[in-house]
């Protein structure tokens, strides 16, 4: 039962975390750039790696991706602006906008910046085509089934709002507005397994044949899982690539044109690179249950409350005592928010669980592992709590890549 983070294999080790704890106020996020580089290397077989920045959209992380020749996906005007400020180019396919609708401001900026659009609805095609004929587009196709680690992350099938159900209906619209169809895209959800993957590849081939238009790209979307628990196996990328490569070759043969294979992961690239550091501020018994309350809440790390997600938790003692691995206690970990759901040890549906953890003292630190994806990027200001600091470890240096927001900044919006 490991309670302390690994001391040898990454920069996210006890020595570094202790250094940061002394220097900065908890809670804060820490990322290790090396882990991101290593994950990028694993995907090098794909022609294009497009980072789904929603997983971790800090501009410094985006710059790191750009320097490693990745491209980027944006799902909002804010994410487009982030990509531009990180150095990704307009008038190119370095940024692609993926969505199921346009608001007016986003549409006009996309046309101004000439950013290709991965359209998830026919209305998007009409609205874009009527003012920007010739615009480069992809079709995001709903393969009529989906998959996800939680119902909330399943993006295919009848219960999903994502993608175009019948892509053949897009063809007359594309013709009418002279739009340039360059790619087909499918993303069925997060946490995909091989069985579903085979089905997606098959659905992609079927759609490409049905549409029968010379395209340049297909995108496998994102969704590659990572092992959040110690007994989970990492995904076999070779197998993943082989399935998509086969699909690409079939499409390429049918259309008699070369096809580039793109992948669009978020979590796979960044989840394991990040931890959330928090401090124990209160310990109390509620009947027979032992509650440990920390200074981070679901406004900081939302995944456990939103999906019942598991994050491994380690303890760093605040003093020199040794945490005896055998002196453990069943513990519920909660945050400071005014809601009973502000619990980090819960299942989907909100059932509270306990975690076997060392007996803690006030002032000890709790480390939440694998929070580099959908950690900081899903944080909110609920309970008027400022966004917390983000720190990047790169080449043995510690760099604050986002300072803590101030309460004054929050209030100033209302003045
Ligand atoms: N591409 C598209 C079109 C997507 O909708 C998504 C995720 C991705 C790529 C990246 O998926 P990934 O490789 O990260 O699984 N907040 C949830 C995940 C929501 C994902 C939404 N779309 C979580 O914390 O697990």
Residue range 102-141, pLDDT digits in tens: 999 999 999 999 999 999 999 999 999 999 999 999 999 9
**Quick one: average pLDDT of 305-310?**
97
The pTM (predicted TM-score) of the whole model is 0.96
Residue nearest to atom 16 of ligand 1 (CA): 374
Q: Distance, CA 409 to ligand 1 centroid (Å)?
A: 30
Specify the pairing of strand 180-185 against strand 136-140.
parallel
Taking alpha carbons only, the member of 190, 193, 197, 248 closest to residue 45 is 248
Least confident of 62-71, 91-100, 137-146: 137-146
Q: Distance, CA 8 to ligand 1 centroid (Å)?
A: 30
Residue nearest to atom 24 of ligand 1 (CA): 374
Atom of ligand 1 at shortest distance to CA of 374?
Answer: 24
Atom of ligand 1 at shortest distance to CA of 271?
Answer: 14
Q: Distance, CA 270 to ligand 1 centroid (Å)?
A: 12
> Using CA atoms, how far apart are residues 27 and 291, in angstroms rounded to an integer?
19
Least confident of 63-72, 155-164, 290-299, 345-354: 155-164
Mark 217-238 as b/e (b = at least 16 C-beta within 10 Å).
bbbbbbbbbbebeeeeeebebe
**Quick one: average pLDDT of 200-210?**
95
pLDDT at 228 over 60: yes
> Considering the chain, what is the average pLDDT of its residues?
94
User: What residues flank ligand 1, with Cβ below 6 Å?
Assistant: 52, 55, 98, 153, 155, 187, 190, 221-224, 264-268, 303, 373-374
Residue nearest to atom 15 of ligand 1 (CA): 223
Atom of ligand 1 at shortest distance to CA of 149?
Answer: 25
Number of H helices, E strands in the chain: 12, 17
The predicted pLDDT at position 4 comes to 46
**Quick one: average pLDDT of 330-355?**
96
Q: Distance, CA 61 to ligand 1 centroid (Å)?
A: 17
Q: Distance, CA 189 to ligand 1 centroid (Å)?
A: 7
Residue-wise pLDDT for 128-184, tens only, equals: 999 999 999 999 999 988 777 777 777 788 888 999 999 999 999 999 999 999 999
Atom of ligand 1 at shortest distance to CA of 267?
Answer: 14
* Residue 201 annotated as catalytic: no
pLDDT cut 90: percent of the chain above it: 88
Q: Distance, CA 223 to ligand 1 centroid (Å)?
A: 6
Residue nearest to atom 18 of ligand 1 (CA): 153
The predicted pLDDT at position 20 comes to 98
- Catalytic residue from among 8, 195, 320, 338: 338
pLDDT at 13 over 80: yes
> Three-state SS string across 289-353, please?
EEEEEECCCCCCCCHHHHHCCCCCEEEECCCCCCCCCCCEEEEEEECCCCCCCCECCECCCCCEC
């Amino acid at each position: 039962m490991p309670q302390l983070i690994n001391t040898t294999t990454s920069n996210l080790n006890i020595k570094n975390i202790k250094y940061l704890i002394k220097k900065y106020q908890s809670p804060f996020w820490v990322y290790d750039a090396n882990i991101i580089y290593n994950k990028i290397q694993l995907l090098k077989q794909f022609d294009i790696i497009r980072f789904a920045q929603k997983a971790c959209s800090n501009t410094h992380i985006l710059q790191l991706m750009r320097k490693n020749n990745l491209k980027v996906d944006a799902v909002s005007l804010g994410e487009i602006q982030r990509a531009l400020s990180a150095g990704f180019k307009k008038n190119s396919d370095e940024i692609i906008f993926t969505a199921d609708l346009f608001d007016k401001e986003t549409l006009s900026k996309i046309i101004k910046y000439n950013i290709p659009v991965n359209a998830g609805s026919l209305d998007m095609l009409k609205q874009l085509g009527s003012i920007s004929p010739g615009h480069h587009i992809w079709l995001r196709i709903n393969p009529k089934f989906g998959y996800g680690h939680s119902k909330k992350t399943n993006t295919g099938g009848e219960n999903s709002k994502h993608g175009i159900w019948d892509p053949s209906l897009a063809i007359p619209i594309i013709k009418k507005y002279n739009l340039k169809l360059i790619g087909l895209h499918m993303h069925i959800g997060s946490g995909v397994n091989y069985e579903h993957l085979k089905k997606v590849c098959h659905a992609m081939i079927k759609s490409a044949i049905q549409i029968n238009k010379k395209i340049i790209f297909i995108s496998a979307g994102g969704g590659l899982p990572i092992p959040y628990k110690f007994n989970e196996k990492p995904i076999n990328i070779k197998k993943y690539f082989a399935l998509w490569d086969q699909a690409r070759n079939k499409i390429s043969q049918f259309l008699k044109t070369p096809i580039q294979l793109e992948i669009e992961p978020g979590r796979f690239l960044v989840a394991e690179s990040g931890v959330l550091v928090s401090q124990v501020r209160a310990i109390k018994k509620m009947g027979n249950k032992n509650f440990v309350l920390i200074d981070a809440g679901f406004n900081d790390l939302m995944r456990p409350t939103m999906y019942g997600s598991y994050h491994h938790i380690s303890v760093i003692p605040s003093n020199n005592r040794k945490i005896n691995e055998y002196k453990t206690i069943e513990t519920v970990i909660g945050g400071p928010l005014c809601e009973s759901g502000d619990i980090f040890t819960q299942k989907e549906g909100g059932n509270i669980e306990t975690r076997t953890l060392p007996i803690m003292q006030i002032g000890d630190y709790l480390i939440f592992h694998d929070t580099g994806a959908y950690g900081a990027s899903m944080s909110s200001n609920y309970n008027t709590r400022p966004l917390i600091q983000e720190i990047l470890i790169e080449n043995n240096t510690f760099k604050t890549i986002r300072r803590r927001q101030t309460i004054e900044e929050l209030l100033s919006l209302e003045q």
